[in-house]
Amino acid sequence: MIVCKFGGTSVQDAAAIDRAVAIIRGKASRDPIVVVSALGGATNVLLDIAQKAASGELLVALQAIEQLRDRHLREAAALLIGSAEADEIAEEIGAGFDELAHLAEAFRTLGYLTPRSLDTVAAVGELLSSQIVAAAFRHRGLPAVFVDARDVMKTNDQFTRAEPDAVEIERAVRQHVLPLVEQGNIPVIGGFVGSAPGRITTTLGRGGSDFSASLIGAAVGAEAIEIWTDVDGMLTADPRIVPNARLIERIRFDEAAELASFGAKVLHPSTISPAVQRGIPVFVFNSRNPEGHGTMITFEAPRMAVRAIAGKRDTTVVKLRSARMLLAPGFLRRVFEVFENHRVSVDVVATSEVSISVTLDDATNLDHVVTDLMEFGDVSVERQRGIVAIVGAGIADGSRAIADAIAALGPVPVYMASLSATGINFTLVIDDAEVVPAMQRLHRTFFETAA
Ligand code: ADP
Ligand code: ASP
Ligand code: MG
């Protein structure tokens, strides 16, 4: 069995879905399970519809609903010309958008949104795309069966970033997915979407379809997890920032996980962990270039000082200074408990004897964190920071990578620096506005100049 996940651009329209058909047809003998994202951009539109409705712009929201409805109907019609199922799928699409229009009216009346209602809206994208793709596959002779992600992807009720329950997912996969594969069918499941106890719709967080694919891959013990996207694989940097970025043919799980956590959007940061636990290789391929080599992510890859560069913007730095920290056992634990209590996850950490600096990706709940931290000492918050990371298993192997990275930044002010304990990630916190030029300079240093 293999799990093949097609991202938004890889199912954005009828032509893209046709490419996915050709890819899966070539893999039929390997028992594929297909995971799909919403049609490209649909999730953004859906969330925007909810925001507009809640802020009183109901007409704008309803117009956007009609446009998105038309887009789904148009692509489904193009895919299902001559199919007996065309009307049924059009009805499903119609019902989905009718319900969305009712929800929009309710949001206008309420004037606010809850994370739970946002998940209900966002999930529409994957729930429809998976039905459209399954029908398109069938119409082209592939034995595809739609599986409702809410029957499989069991999560807690932390809406908008729900945490999966691996034991329940494995049980659900055994019930709803494996029998289909055993009968020679190809299950098609929406990524990103899940359900909390009571079958209440949840989502795994933005970009979460990759995570869905690896969770399902782990649950079935797949021989491979394939992420089909719009670039040739994992590259040495984000190609939108560094046009000369090169394909990485092989990379280690831990390196890929660090890159994903520090801004390489090609993989959702949680994707690697289920694959590592079961030792399942993850591949990244380009659905527009299916013959390409792609990237293979496994435990082993030829050791390199710097495999790739990543970066992320809009990071918040929190600094705590406390004289009481001096020699106080348990101090760090109590400080980190504050972050845990408010469910704020910390990225980079640096400490000295009397201070701790941490970076946060998501500044929601920051006020509560700051209030609690003030009990320990002086707290300051710096916004508009960014992070650049150089990642490679051999960074600390006595190579010059760290010195070269600092030299590449030149006069750019550095607010924090951290080398991960495993020695595979060297991160630097700089001004948000410096992230793009810094990534370009780092890439030139490590990948564009002869050694
Ligand atoms: P999908 O919809 O298929 O999930 P995403 O947009 O989520 O696609 O991820 C693919 C994008 O990730 C690429 O188009 C690229 O711009 C971006 N990206 C960022 N960093 C990297 C990297 N190191 N290698 C490849 N792509 C990257
Ligand atoms: N459609 C979702 C998003 O845009 C999930 C995904 O594409 O991975 O965030
Ligand atoms: Mg993605």
CATH number at residue 421: 3.30.2130.10
Angle (nearest 5°) at CA 78 between 75 and 82: 140
53 and 162 both lie in a single domain: yes
Residue 237 lies in a domain: no
Count: domains in the chain: 2
8 Å CB contact between 213 and 164: no
User: Which ligand has the nearest atom to the CA of 240?
Assistant: 1
205 and 329 both lie in a single domain: no
Q: Which residue among 191, 208, 230 closes a domain?
A: 230
221 and 313 both lie in a single domain: no
224 and 312 both lie in a single domain: no
Q: Which residue among 178, 211, 230 closes a domain?
A: 230
Give the mean pLDDT of the chain. 95
Residue 210 lies in a domain: yes
**Averaged pLDDT, 80-101:** 97
| pTM as predicted | 0.95
CA of 208 to the centre of ligand 2 (A): 6
Q: Is the CB of 125 under 6 A from ligand 2?
A: yes
205 and 312 both lie in a single domain: no
Residue 204 lies in a domain: yes
Residue 267 lies in a domain: no
219 and 315 both lie in a single domain: no
Q: What is the pLDDT of residues 209-219, one digit of tens each?
A: 999 999 999 99
In this structure, the residue with its CA closest to atom 1 of ligand 1 is 7
Residue 117: give its domain's CATH number: 3.40.1160.10
In this structure, the residue with its CA closest to atom 2 of ligand 2 is 207
Res 28 pLDDT > 70 = yes
Least confident of 2-6, 201-205, 423-427: 423-427
Residue 120 lies in a domain: yes
**Averaged pLDDT, 304-325:** 91
Residue 255 lies in a domain: no
The closest of 160, 278, 263 to 213, measured between CA atoms, is 278
226 and 316 both lie in a single domain: no
41 and 157 both lie in a single domain: yes
Residue 430 lies in a domain: yes
Q: Is the CB of 218 under 6 A from ligand 2?
A: no
Residue-number span of the structural domain to which 386 is assigned: 308-448
201 and 331 both lie in a single domain: no
Res 52 pLDDT > 90 = yes
pLDDT tier for residue 53 given thresholds of 50, 70 and 90: very high
Q: What is the pLDDT of residues 124-165, one digit of tens each?
A: 999 999 999 999 999 999 999 999 999 999 999 999 999 999
47 and 165 both lie in a single domain: yes
CA of 254 to the centre of ligand 2 (A): 23
Q: What is the pLDDT of residues 162-182, one digit of tens each?
A: 999 999 999 999 999 999 999
23 and 171 both lie in a single domain: yes
Q: Which residue among 196, 230, 264 closes a domain?
A: 230
221 and 322 both lie in a single domain: no
Residue 42 lies in a domain: yes
